[in-house]
Chains A and B, each alone.
Chain A
Amino acid sequence: MEEHIVIIGNGISGVTTARHIRKASDKKITIISAETDHFFSRTALMYIYMGHMKYEHTKPYEDYFWKKNRIDLKRAFVETVDHENKQLLLSGGEKMSYDKLVLAVGSTPNKFGWPGQDLEGVQGLYSKQDLDKLEANAPDNKTCKRAVVVGGGLIGIEMVEMLLTRDIPVTFLVRENNFWNGVLPIGESQMLNRHIKSHHVDLRLGFNLDSILADDNGKVRAVTIKETGEEIACNVVGLTAGVSPNVAFLKDSGIEIGRGIKVNPMLETNIKDIYAIGDCAEQHEGINGRRPIEAVWYTGRMMGEALAQTLTGKPTAYNPGHWFNSAKFMDIEYQTYGWVFSKPKEGNTHFHWMHKDDNKCITIEMQEGTRKFIGINNFGIRLRHELFDRWLTEGQTTDYVLEHLKDANFDPELYAHYEKEILAEYNKQYGTSLAPKKKSWKRIFA
Chain B
Amino acid sequence: MKIIKNLGLVIFLTGLAIWTASVFMGGFTLQQDQLDVFVSEKGIKSELITKKITEDVVGKTLGTFAFTGAIRNALAENNTYYDAQIAKYDAAKEWDKKGEQYQYRINDKDFQAFSFSLAKKAGTGFIVENKGLMWFLTFGLSILGALMFIFPNLVLLGKPGIKNDHIYHDAATNRGWIAWLVLIYLVLFYLVLYFNADYVVNWTFILDPISNALNGGDASQWFVYGFLYCTIMLTMAMRMYIKYRHNKYQIVRTTSVLFFQIVFAFLIPEIMSSLGKPGYDFKNAFPLDYDFFFEWNLETLTESGGLGIFILVWGVVLTLVIVPVMVYFFGKRWYCSWVCGCGGLAETLGDPYRQHSNKTMKAWKLERWLIHSVLAFSLVMTVVTLYCYFTGAESLLGINTQWIKDTYSFLIGAWFAGVIGTGFYPIFGNRVWCRFGCPLAAYLGFVQRFKSRFRITTNGGQCISCGNCSTYCEQGIDVRAYAQKGENIVRSSCVGCGVCSAVCPRGVLKLENGPEAGRINPTQVLLGNDVDLMDYVNNDQDVA
Contact = CB atoms under 8 A, between A and B. Distances in A.
A316 B505 CA distance: 32
B341 to A, nearest CB: 22
A199 interface: yes
A331 B161 contact: yes
A54 interface: yes
Interface residues of A, number: 62
Nearest to A327: B506
A43 B464 contact: yes
Interface string A372-414: 0000000000111110010000000000000000000011111
B529 A51 contact: no
A172 to B, nearest CB: 17
B528 A385 contact: yes
B518 A445 contact: yes
Contact of B528 (A309, A314, A324): A324
Interface string B520-544: 0000111111111100110000011
Nearest to A320: B529
A301 interface: yes
Interface string B470-485: 1100000000110010
A441 interface: yes
Contacts of B467: 41, 44, 47, 53, 57-60
A298 interface: yes
B226 interface: no
Nearest to A325: B462
Contact of B249 (A59, A389, A413): A413
A226 interface: no
Nearest to A60: B465
Contact of B543 (A23, A331, A385): A23
B507 interface: yes
B476 to A, nearest CB: 13
A412 B498 contact: yes
Contact of B159 (A23, A52, A198, A306): A198
B169 A51 contact: yes
Contact of A333 (B507, B517, B524, B528): B507
Interface in A184-235: 198-199
Contacts of B465: 12, 41, 43-44, 60
Contacts of B530: 302, 306, 316-321
A108 to B, nearest CB: 20
Given A326-B507, A328-B506, A410 B527 contact: no
A7 B158 CA distance: 44
Interface string B483-524: 010000000000000100111011100111011011000001
Contact of B164 (A12, A52, A297): A52
B527 A386 contact: yes
A305 B485 CA distance: 12
B100 interface: no
Nearest to B460: A385
Contacts of A53: 168, 467-468, 471
A389 B534 CA distance: 13
Contacts of A410: 457, 459, 507, 510
Contacts of B36: none
A96 interface: no
A51 B528 contact: no
Nearest to B481: A60
A50 B161 CA distance: 14
Interface SS of chain B: helix, strand, loop or mixed?
A: loop
A297 B505 CA distance: 14
Nearest to B169: A51
A430 interface: no
A416 interface: yes
B254 to A, nearest CB: 12
A302 B466 contact: no
A264 to B, nearest CB: 15
A441 B507 contact: no
A243 B526 CA distance: 25
A322 interface: yes
A356 to B, nearest CB: 16
A298 B461 contact: yes
B165 interface: yes
B167 interface: yes
A249 interface: no
Given A53-B467, A60-B480, A301 B533 contact: no
Contacts of A335: 462, 506-507
A297 B481 CA distance: 16
Contacts of A24: 543
B85 interface: no
Interface string B136-168: 000000000000000000000011111011111
Contacts of B466: 41, 43-44, 47, 58
Nearest to B518: A445
Nearest to A415: B248
A305 B529 contact: yes
A302 B529 contact: yes
Contact of B168 (A52, A322, A324, A328): A52
A34 interface: no
A165 B510 contact: no
B468 A47 contact: yes
Interface string A20-64: 100110000000000000000101100110111110011110101
B17 interface: no
A309 B530 CA distance: 12
Contacts of B511: 412-413
Contacts of A199: 158-159
Given A51-B168, A445-B514, A445-B517, A302 B462 contact: no
B510 to A, nearest CB: 5
A199 B158 CA distance: 8
Interface in A411-439: 411-416
A136 interface: no
A170 B360 CA distance: 38
Contacts of A62: 360-361
A444 interface: yes
Given A414-B252, A415-B249, A321 B531 contact: yes
A389 to B, nearest CB: 6
B129 interface: no
17 contacts: A23-B543, A43-B465, A51-B167, A52-B164, A62-B361, A165-B165, A198-B159, A199-B158, A305-B525, A319-B529, A321-B527, A328-B505, A331-B160, A331-B162, A382-B459, A385-B459, A385-B461
The 3 closest A-B CB pairs, nearest first, are: A385-B460, A331-B161, A382-B507
Interface of B: 158-162, 164-170, 246-249, 252, 360-361, 457, 459-462, 464-468, 470-471, 480-481, 484, 498, 501-503, 505-507, 510-512, 514-515, 517-518, 524-533, 536-537, 543-544
